[in-house]
Structure 1
């Protein structure tokens, strides 16, 4: 079938994207779903910094590629062997397809699925196949999949293991899309990776969609201090509205001391969600002795953080990475949606704009500026 999709032809695009147009809206061929795969009509897809990192080359991926990984839609067709989904089912897409049988999956850590990671790096589905190509069917016409999803398209073929069924019919597709990445990653970093206990002190550095979800997760966990840090005052104001007990502009020369003053010496848990070495350095420095610094940011692979090892040892520090919020999607997405319905995770407050697919390059300009939280494309 022919579908409209946003195709990235090369990495390392420069701004302004609205002029250089790294994403080209093209009509591409989408093959039917194979065994264990599902054809999904995409209804909404979020613009995430992980997409931007592919566009600007910070996250190397094979091209040409149909990108987009945070999305929700409706099942249109099930491939052979898929018996637990039906056409018309509402689904959220998950950008790490978990095979269910590798060692991390067996240990209850599907976010670290080894075949899923290999498929994502190669730009294929979990099966190793590609279902996207340019019209013409030449040896060079095949297109790569982004994170097993390729959501910036009218339809997508994905692995069944990339989908979570959503039973809440009142949840809009735009809201549902956020649960596929921003909510899983941000809330999960707090409740799954760090396991923040009630009464703890928390700092969140980087107030994009993931960072503000981490803030909501800290409030949900019962943190007594929640310090929000960012370069944009507008995001700091929103953080205050969402439950931050204090805000600090990360550009201030006395930012570290300000956090320590607000928390009596530093925080128990600091979350770096900006994807920058400078933010990671700040996160470590605002963490108190014996505390934990967690990063879910994804900077360029060449970027390095200079750690003073003796300090880590002498102060019994913990440094942890968090990928997709250390989540178990089939468990966590329904839980987080229910918490949203109860008003405890107001993720709808994070939706900045709703865009048309044709506006996607402009949307990434806004994202790169740091002045927007979460934009969603509505199909």
Structure 2
């Protein structure tokens, strides 16, 4: 059982601690990946704050890239040394959701046998099927996609969550058609990718809504045609003025109930609201149901952008290689594992797009 360094959450709302843990060998249908990079997603932070519960001690991290260093029984199609993206999307391939092309909603993803233990034998949870705030992970074969070596690992890692979630929310869940108008609420890591997805899919106009001028300027660099400050009184009025009509699609990419309360106000006749951001458990939003009923509007939940990773991640990697998808520009900072608390604090302050932990030897 190899020893690895990992950032462990021992209590909610406390600093992570760097510990030496034991990682078990891969079992049937599993692989071991030695990581080159793992990004810090707001979901990791929310879990570490206790927003959605979960067992402790735990290792978070689910947006990673690395190289295959171990293969369990029955694994095919991968070789040691292959560069892979590591996602949290674990799928059985046979349940109703998987067999109808929705593996992100797999109904049979039970917990794997314990992967991580402390030297004294205490179990440590590998959260979100990953536990990637660590030097190595053991994950199910279904969670990874092989990609070319030429792609930089810190950019490749972003394809595991934020990029696929944002683009997929617009393209897969929202079914955006060329020429439609889009509003994206939130211009963080997921929101910028929703904007990119709208641009790639041929949106006519894209309005970004966020709290700061700085983020709105960044949103325009990623493809937004207009920016609206969420701090303005009734910001939807500014968006409707910019579009001249209600939006065909509104993507809510932040986990704030206020955003969900306001989002329907941006919609036009027959518009779709795609719900991406995840508020804390128990938080509620409100709306007047007669309006979407009368106007034929749709509210759509989107988990991980409704992606099929074996289809969508290679497509997005090709877009990046062709210069049509910005990944390098999403990386705000590069940090060591022992700096993870500083990187998390920087992310909490709201200015970072994606902070990435880069491991020694990454290439």
TM-score (norm 1): 0.93
CA contact (8 A) 1:65 1:144 kept: yes
SS at match of 1:115: coil
CA distance in 1, matches of 2:326, 2:257: 29
From 120, 123, 127, the equivalent of 1:146 is 127
Q: Deviations over 1:293-319 (max 9, x none)?
A: 111111111101112111121111100
Q: How far 1:72 sits from its partner (Å)?
A: 0.4
Moved more, 338-347 or 326-335: 338-347
CA distance in 1, matches of 2:144, 2:223: 31
Which residue does the alignment assign to 2:118?
134
Q: Deviations over 1:79-111 (max 9, x none)?
A: 111122111001001112011011100111001
Q: How far 1:254 sits from its partner (Å)?
A: 3.5
Which residue does the alignment assign to 1:309?
289
Which residue does the alignment assign to 2:11?
10
Q: Deviations over 1:223-248 (max 9, x none)?
A: 11100111122111111122211001
CA distance in 1, matches of 2:198, 2:96: 30
Q: How does 1:49-68 map to 2 (within 5 A)?
A: 49-68=42-61
Instruction: Give the total of aligned pairs.
Output: 358
From 329, 333, 340, the equivalent of 2:309 is 329
Which residue does the alignment assign to 2:335?
355
Q: Deviations over 1:196-229 (max 9, x none)?
A: 0000000111111111000000000111110011
Residues 1:181 and 2:161 are matched in the alignment: yes
Q: How far 1:282 sits from its partner (Å)?
A: 2.3
From 272, 275, 279, the equivalent of 1:299 is 279
Residues 1:84 and 2:83 are matched in the alignment: no
Which residue does the alignment assign to 1:198?
178
Residues 1:38 and 2:18 are matched in the alignment: no
Residues 1:101 and 2:89 are matched in the alignment: no
Q: How far 1:35 sits from its partner (Å)?
A: 1.1
CA contact (8 A) 1:187 1:217 kept: yes
CA contact (8 A) 1:232 1:371 kept: no
Unaligned segments of structure 2, at least 5 residues: none
Q: How far 1:131 sits from its partner (Å)?
A: 1.2
CA distance in 1, matches of 2:80, 2:302: 34
CA distance in 1, matches of 2:33, 2:321: 25
Alignment RMSD: 1.0
Which residue does the alignment assign to 1:171?
151
Q: Deviations over 1:291-345 (max 9, x none)?
A: 1111111111110111211112111110001001000000000000001111111
Which residue does the alignment assign to 2:298?
318
Which residue does the alignment assign to 1:159?
140
Q: How far 1:27 sits from its partner (Å)?
A: 0.6
CA distance in 1, matches of 2:118, 2:344: 24
Which residue does the alignment assign to 1:287?
267
SS at match of 2:277: coil
Unaligned segments of structure 1, at least 5 residues: 14-19
Q: How does 1:238-257 map to 2 (within 5 A)?
A: 238-257=218-237
CA contact (8 A) 1:232 1:370 kept: no
Which residue does the alignment assign to 1:274?
254
CA distance in 2, matches of 1:365, 1:230: 20
SS at match of 1:372: coil
From 354, 358, 361, the equivalent of 1:374 is 354
CA contact (8 A) 1:213 1:347 kept: no
Q: How does 1:207-222 map to 2 (within 5 A)?
A: 207-222=187-202
TM-score (norm 2): 0.97
